[in-house]
């Protein structure tokens, strides 16, 4: 199919790719909803909601590619924003998982319900993590939304892309800081374990599986964000913007893989196992074990 001369995209989206990725996101969203209802982990709702929004964006690519719709900003804007902004929900999910992980593994937080309760394993109080980073994402989301809405037109693309680039750079830096917190927590747990089985536990140890899953998901999210930054830096006529293969390979696939892991490794189950281990097999060097108290005290 030929590109309409007034179309604001650089190519006609592939219908096959749109159907495949849209269907995969629907499958992921339904699977996540199943896990949520099965485990009653309502705090995870942002993940399937983000997946469903992504699927809507891909299905809209099928509509936008039609000759009569190629010039429609009313279709192009929601299509573009659904795809470029829905990953904010995936980042939010990882933030929430990290906060729950620290609360589960640090028995000193038992009985402390306040959001400001601190942990030796986190720069930021774990119950505040999701609030701090989600608000950070809200700000970058609004910046990206404003810039993304301007990118759909040739006349405002350059300014819009610069605004969007600022938003995604800030989001990227925020996520790198979050990833440093995950790494710090992992290192401190190895040096000062709560659970005696953690340091020498195999890859199937629930706490280690959570850390490895966060690393895996985060690396793929960083790949996607790096691609978006380079794409925007190259501009409207850049090879990345004008080639759908790069978009599918460096944006669509990494994000699918980043959240697809949660089909097989559902955090709430591992969090329950982690909490159980931290309270039943305390390490002798852990202060609460030395004091003779249980971790639930």
Q: What is the pLDDT of residue 44?
A: 95
For residues 295 and 288, the answer to whether their CB atoms sit within 8 Å is yes
41 by DSSP, 3-state: which? Answer: coil
155 by DSSP, 3-state: which? Answer: coil
Q: What is the pLDDT of residue 114?
A: 65
Q: What is the pLDDT of residue 4?
A: 46
The DSSP code sequence of 164-220 is HHHHHHHHHHHHHHHHHHHHHHHHHHHHS-SBTTTTT--TTSHHHHHHHHHHHHHHH
Give the H or E element holding residue 221.
helix 206-234
Geometric angle at alpha carbon 164, from 162 and 170, rounded to 5°: 105
Q: What is the pLDDT of residue 2?
A: 38
State the pTM of this model: 0.85
CB neighbours (10 Å) of residue 250?
A: 18
Q: Which residues of the chain have pLDDT under 70?
A: 1-10, 67-71, 110-114, 151-154, 281-297
Q: What is the pLDDT of residue 294?
A: 34
Q: What is the pLDDT of residue 153?
A: 66
pLDDT of 160-182, one tens digit each?
878 888 888 898 999 999 999 99
Geometric angle at alpha carbon 33, from 223 and 64, rounded to 5°: 60
């Amino acid at each position: 199919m030929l590109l309409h001369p007034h179309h604001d995209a650089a190519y006609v989206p592939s219908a096959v790719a749109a159907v495949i990725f849209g269907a995969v996101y629907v499958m992921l969203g339904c699977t996540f909803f199943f896990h949520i209802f099965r485990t009653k982990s309502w705090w995870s709702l942002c993940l399937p909601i983000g997946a469903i929004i992504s699927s809507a964006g891909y299905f809209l690519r099928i509509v936008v590619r039609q000759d009569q719709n190629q010039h429609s900003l009313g279709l192009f804007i929601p299509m573009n924003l659904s795809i470029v902004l829905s990953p904010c929900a995936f980042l939010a999910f990882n933030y929430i998982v990290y906060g729950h992980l620290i609360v589960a593994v640090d028995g000193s937080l038992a009985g402390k319900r306040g959001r400001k309760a601190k942990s030796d394993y986190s720069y930021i109080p774990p119950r505040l993590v999701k609030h701090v980073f989600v608000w950070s994402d809200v700000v970058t989301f609004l910046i990206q939304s404003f810039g993304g809405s301007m990118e759909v037109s040739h006349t405002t693309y350059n300014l819009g892309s610069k605004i969007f680039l600022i938003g995604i750079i800030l989001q990227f830096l925020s996520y790198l800081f979050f990833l440093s917190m995950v790494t710090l927590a992992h290192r401190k747990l190895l040096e000062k374990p709560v659970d005696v089985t953690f340091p020498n536990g195999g890859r199937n140890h629930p706490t280690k599986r959570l850390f490895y899953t966060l690393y895996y998901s985060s690396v793929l999210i960083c790949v996607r964000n790096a691609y978006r930054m380079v794409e925007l830096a190259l501009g409207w006529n850049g090879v990345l913007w004008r080639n759908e293969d790069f978009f599918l390979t460096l944006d669509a696939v990494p994000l699918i893989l980043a959240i697809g892991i949660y089909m097989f490794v559902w955090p709430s189950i591992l969090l329950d196992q982690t909490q159980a281990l931290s309270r039943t097999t305390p390490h002798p060097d852990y202060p609460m074990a030395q004091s003779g108290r249980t971790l639930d005290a």
